Structure 1
Amino acid sequence: MNKRNYNVFFHLHTVSGIVISVALYIIFFAGAFALIKDEITAWEKGDTVQLEQALDVDYDKITAVIKEEGYNLEGRNIRLVMPDVKQEVLVILSGSKYEDASDEDKQGAFFYINTINYTRSDYYTFYSFGELIYRLHFFSQIPKIGTYLAGFVALFFLFAITTGIIVHWKKIISNFYVFRPKAKFKTIWTDAHTALGVIGLPFQFVYAVTSCFLCLSILVLIPGNFIYNNNQKKLSEDLRPMTKDYPITYKTHTEFSLNPFMEQTLEKWETFSPSQVYIRNYGDSNMKFQVDGMVSTQQKFIGHGRIVYNVPTNDVLSIKDPLKSNYIEAVEMTVRKLHFGDFGGYWLKLVYFIMAFITCFVIISGVLIWLEARNKKNVPEKRRKYNEKVGHIYLAICLSMYPITALSMIVSKLIPRSLDASRLTILYCVFFGGWLLLSIFFRFKRDNYFTNKYTLLIGSILGFLIPIVNGISSGNWFWITFQNGQTAIFLIDAFWIVLSTISTLIILKMNKKILDKN
């Protein structure tokens, strides 16, 4: 590559990386915790997780509970998302299709039903910190444009990865084995940036591509509308067959049971696990019971299947064998599996978690390289001060996420159940308010070493307090949850103990280096 092209790609890599660095750090840091969002919810509630019992859903009982809550189900579509460690089914009701239905019945609704005791709760009844951090990783808190903003950050990240490979191509292998801890700061950060960047490269590339797909999928629909002559219903059914709807007949059908359809489905395919259930045209003579799910990843990586029953006649209307691939659905399922890492259990999530934190370090080291490269005598004093301010702001915002996350988890555990309805407000004030205050404090401290050290110190102290607070407030000491097989709750406590220990070791190492220099 000639020098001109090298400089072009180098500056493109630097500029694209710096522009998105803060947003990208937030996405990866929050995304790491989003991997265990359901476990965080289980930890906050402190209830015993009986997942096997929770997955044994009584569909007739669920519809009965919905009716008892005052909902008229006639003519509605019902979507049920199967429970996880939270032990709750997400219920999404459409408005009634009947023309003579009341205005109230034509309104949709969504809520949860606990599949252990079959009680109803609203989305905001128990707002979890896991939900907050999950939504932060695609900027859901920013109205309307948040998800698209996250998608474009992912797109620029893909651009930064590509230009980074081009720039470092000849030195990737040689520099991977080089680490000079006694060299000047720019060299240390460059070595770390290159080595860890190469280690995390496959993970980062996968996340950049899958994030673009998930956040910017609306861009796929634009050319699709032209192909389908603006027939969005047909386009939607072809791209996502599970959304196919059926006409209503206005003839009632009231004598039916839903559980036998699920039993028949589970007998049909070995290792099949339902993920979503759709009940179309409830109480109508054209009522359908649809089951979407997956066979185990050991049997087939993308083993997505579907079966649709005609409820009045008990016949199978259509079937999609999970052992036979459908190209369109396989693409979407592959993207989702790779993005959420839900095909390899907790060990795969651990790998994803480590890779997410490595990426956070790569982002921070990239910012520090940029700062050191511009901290030269030939750079005008005014520009150097401006660059320093940018660095202070970037690091203050990014590094403050660690202690405020730990603090928010402690607060989320200590909020009394009598204040469940106010959890969202409390958690938003603590997390976003505390994050803002910490960012302002470290910004005006104007010392990157101080920011780095004390965010790690505060975060590690609060992190060690998390399992203690959990044990005192709920009796779920980590050794007890381990003995009782409460993996989800134990995992959160163990994670914070390990993370806080690592943070403490880093602080001690930092102090030793300062003493050695003195």
Structure 2
Amino acid sequence: MKGTLRRSMAWLHTWCGLVCGWVLCVIFLTGSLSVFREPITRWMEAQPIAASDATGSMDEGRAAAQAQRYLALHGAGARLWRVQLPAHPGEAVRLLWRDGSGIQQIALDPARGTPVSPAALRQTEGGRHFMSFHYMLQLPLLGFWIVGALTVGFLVALVSGVVIHRRIFADFFTFRPGIGPRSWLDAHNAAAVLTLPFLLMIAYTGLCIFASSYMPWPLHAAYGADDGAYARFTSELASEPAVVGSLAQPTGPAPDWAGLLDQARTLTGQPAQMLLVNAPGSANARVRIIGRADPGQPSSNLFTPQASVLFDAASGAVLQIQRPDPASVSMGARIEGVIRSLHFADFGSWGLRWVYFASGLLGTAMMVAGTLLFSIKRRIKGQHEFGDATRRFYHCVEAFNVACSVGIGLACCGYFYANRLLPLELAGRSQWEIRSFLLIWAATLLHALCRPRQRAWTEQLGLAALLCLCLPLLNQWTTGQALWHYARVGDWQRASVEAVSVGFGALLAFALVKLHRHYRRQGSVR
């Protein structure tokens, strides 16, 4: 019975891991990068370097006052105003308003209140692209379901892997380099055991976040199957912040936004991230100020609600407060918040995000080692389970191994390069960056299908290493900014983007050298 169970689990682990592993490598790599989506977005926007980035303070009141004046002049009659305040010195204030002709957007200089030239703003999706690709593969509906199915397959592969490895923890302390498949199996086991709790948590929470979409039947049974069912569910799940209109009832002229920002900071203890104004200019206009959590001061809770204060726009009276306190929301909202925080690393410090990043990369390495182990074992055994098509089948397997391990890294590098090389005035520029990413990834698969196995690996590894190492030089050539400039002014977020790129380049170059030595021992590279 035990032997039969283990053989069944081994078959399931092998084929489920192979079929899901290719795309899961891509999903995990882009998910690991999305942990630092804010620094990546800042690097890709290429705003001017401010010497006060590390120690300077933002004048939120002045930026909000400039936005208020501009919107009162140009956005009168709009149904909604949205003001995205700058998070760092030197960044622009982003304005959006919705009127009868659609959505209007503009960026303002926070000091002078003048529109920033579109040529000075690098339109980009930034790190948000990696996050979107991570959970829907840039296929809005189909990709969403593909990722869900692959996540279930990943959980199956994890559980079946634990069943078939009787010495799983002993194997964690065993690594025998340079002996072919056994070395890849040791690497696969070590990475799997080290990251097993993280991988189980990430896969499970990822499914839970979209549980009502993947399994809508309980929701329909409780709330109906009409279009308003989800709205009723979410309104019942999340308790509304307390109405506290008696806290302040000032009289006189409508207060300016700078004063509301000061009051919101006093009430919640957080600086402002965004202002939302509903029905501006009308008698029932409301201003909601949403707080910005400081990642340098992590909370002791796994989940902290987003702070916000709702004001009456005419009188400045406080109508609602949502403090960053888990006890202020319902138990259901807290459970959902914890699940989302665990998946998105929305708690803790930057150090915790580095742990998530490293764990995601180790999980990617575990899947790469597993898919390579499959190919190497089949190549050695010389099985003919697919008849005359066996050789072509395994060549395609090798090509997918290359494209979904090294090729996706090349595509990520190409995304950064497209950000710096595409013309600033190009229409739909952010979409062309994403198209460049997808086209480069497709090209790596085509290259791997057309080239011999060994040359496909060495050529793509060499190009990826070169692109990673040269990224700071490209940045200096196109924008006048570079790693050493960011470090000089203390802008460690953007500096770390290029430092990680250089580190990956060195690691890929080391892997290329090792691969060349391995091929030289076997004979000439074919």
Give the TM interval when normalised to the shorter protein: 0.7 to 0.9
Q: Could you say which residue in structure 1 is the equivalent of 2:246? A: none
Whether the aligned pair in 2 keeps the contact of 1:25 and 1:363 (CA below 8 Å) is: yes
Alpha-carbon distance between aligned partners in 1 of 2:486 and 2:148, rounded to the nearest angstrom: 38
Pairing 1:487–2:492 present: yes
Query: Is the 2:311–2:317 Cα contact (8 Å) retained in structure 1?
Result: yes
Match of 1:472 in 2: 477
Q: Which residue of 2 aligns with 1:171?
A: 167
Kindly indicate whether residue 448 of structure 2 is the aligned counterpart of residue 445 of structure 1.
Answer: no
Q: Is the 8 A contact 2:83 2:94 kept in 1?
A: yes
Give the whole-Å Cα distance in 1 for the aligned partners of 2:238 and 2:92.
Answer: 25
Q: What does residue 505 of structure 1 align with? A: 510
Q: Tell me the equivalent position of 1:285.
A: 283
Q: Is the 8 A contact 1:54 1:88 kept in 2?
A: no
> Cα distance 1:458–1:352, how it changes in 2: closer, same or farther (>3 A)?
same
Cα distance in 2, alignment partners of residues 94 and 240 from structure 1: 27
Letter in 2 for 1:66: L
Distance 2:70 2:217 in 1: 41
The answer (yes or no) to whether the contact 1:368–1:391 under 8 Å persists in 2 is: no
The match for 2:267 is: 268
Question: In structure 1, which of residues 129, 132, 145 is the aligned counterpart of residue 142 of structure 2?
Answer: 145
Gaps of 5+ in 2: 244-251
The correspondence of residues 327-476 of structure 1 with structure 2, limited to 5 A, is: 327-375=331-379, 376-377=381-382, 379-380=384-385, 381-382=387-388, 384-398=390-404, 399-417=406-424, 419-424=425-430, 426-447=432-453, 449-476=454-481
SS at match of 2:321: strand
The CA deviation string for residues 246-286 of structure 1, in whole angstroms up to 9 with x for no partner, is xxxxxxx993433333311211244x344554333333333
The 1:487/1:342 distance shift into structure 2, 3 A limit, reads: farther
Whole-Å separation in 1 of the counterparts to 2:325 and 2:310: 17
C-alpha distance in 2 between matches for 1:285 and 1:340? 39
**Distance in structure 2 (CA, Å) of the matches to 1:148 and 1:81:** 32
Q: 2:127 aligns with which of 112, 125, 130?
A: 130
Distance in 2 between residues matched to 1:157 and 1:244, nearest whole Å: 42
Q: Deviations over 1:120-141 (max 9, x none)?
A: 789x961245344343222352
Summarize deviations over 1:58-113 as a string: whole Å, max 9, x none: 44432433344x43445x24455554469456656566xxxxxxx43xx4556666
The CA distance in 1 between the partners of 2:477 and 2:117, in whole Å, is 27
Deviation, structure 1 residue 382: 3.0
Q: What amino acid is aligned across from residue 138 of structure 1 in structure 2? A: Y
8 A contact 1:87–1:116 mirrored in 2: no
Per-residue CA deviations over 1:468-500 (Å, capped at 9, x if unaligned) read: 122233332322321111223312221121111
Distance 1:7 1:91, change over 3 A: farther
Which whole-Å deviations, capped at 9, do the CAs of 1:330-374 have from their partners, x for residues lacking one? 233323332333434443333222222222221121112222343
2:178 counterpart of 1:157: no
C-alpha deviation, 1:460, in angstroms = 0.9
Once the two structures are superposed, the pairs formed by residues 26-425 of structure 1 within 5 Å of their partners are 26-44=26-44, 45-48=46-49, 53=57, 56=60, 58-68=63-73, 70-74=74-78, 76-80=79-83, 83-84=86-87, 87=91, 93=97, 103-104=100-101, 107-108=102-103, 115=110, 118=113, 119=115, 126-139=123-136, 141-168=138-165, 170-183=166-179, 185-219=180-214, 222-229=217-224, 231-232=228-229, 233-240=231-238, 255-270=254-269, 272-293=270-291, 294=293, 296-298=297-299, 300-304=301-305, 305-325=307-327, 326=329, 327-375=331-379, 376-377=381-382, 379-380=384-385, 381-382=387-388, 384-398=390-404, 399-417=406-424, 419-424=425-430
Moved more, 170-179 or 25-34: 25-34
User: More displaced, 432-441 or 324-333?
Assistant: 324-333
CA distance in 2, matches of 1:210, 1:177: 29
**Matched residue SS, 1:500:** helix
Shift of 1:179: 1.3
Cα displacement (A) at 1:438: 2.5
Partner secondary structure for residue 174 of structure 2 = coil
Gaps of 5+ in 1: 96-102, 246-252
Check whether the contact 1:92–1:108 (CA below 8 A) recurs between aligned residues. Answer: yes
Which residue does 1:249 correspond to in 2?
none
Question: For residue 250 of structure 1, what is the aligned residue in structure 2?
Answer: none
Q: 1:442 to 1:220 in 2, by over 3 A?
A: closer
Instruction: From the superposition, tell whether residues 323 and 33 of structure 1 become closer, same or farther in structure 2 (CA, over 3 Å).
Output: closer
- Residues 316 and 29 of structure 1: is their aligned pair in 2 closer, same or farther, counting only changes over 3 Å? same
Please say if residues 402 and 445 of structure 2, whose CA atoms lie closer than 8 Å, have aligned partners that are also in contact: yes
Partner Cα separation in structure 2 for residue 149 and residue 443 of structure 1: 24
- Any conservation in 1 of the 2:254–2:315 contact (CA below 8 Å)? no
The CA distance in 1 between the partners of 2:204 and 2:112, in whole Å, is 41
Residues in 1 aligned to 2:57 and 2:507: alpha-carbon distance in whole angstroms: 37
Alpha-carbon distance in structure 2 between the residues aligned to 1:110 and 1:6: 59
Q: Is the 8 A contact 2:212 2:219 kept in 1?
A: no
Q: Closer, same or farther in 2 for the Cα pair 1:113/1:486, shift >3 Å?
A: same
Query: When the two structures are aligned, how many residues end up with a matched partner?
Result: 495
Distance of 1:80 and 1:224 partners within structure 2: 35
Code of the aligned partner of 2:429: R
SS at match of 1:505: helix
Change (3 A) 1:161 1:125: same
What are the superposed Cα offsets for residues 360-400 of structure 1, whole Å, 9 maximum, x if unpaired? Answer: 22112111222234342454453632541331231232121
> Aligned pair in 2 of structure 1 residues 299, 90: CA closer, same or farther (>3 Å)?
farther
Contact 2:299 2:347 in 1 (8 A): no
Amino acid at match of 2:335: V
What is the rounded CA distance, in whole Å, between the counterparts of 1:452 and 1:404 in structure 2? 15
The 8 Å contact of residues 43 and 494 in structure 2, kept in 1 or not, is answered as: yes
Cα 1:472–1:109 change in 2 (3 A) is closer
Distance 1:486 1:260, change over 3 A: same
Could you say what the CA RMSD is over the residues aligned between the two structures, in angstroms? 3.5
TM-score normalized with structure 1 length: 0.83
The one-letter amino acid of 2:280's match is Y
The corresponding residue for 2:17 is: 17
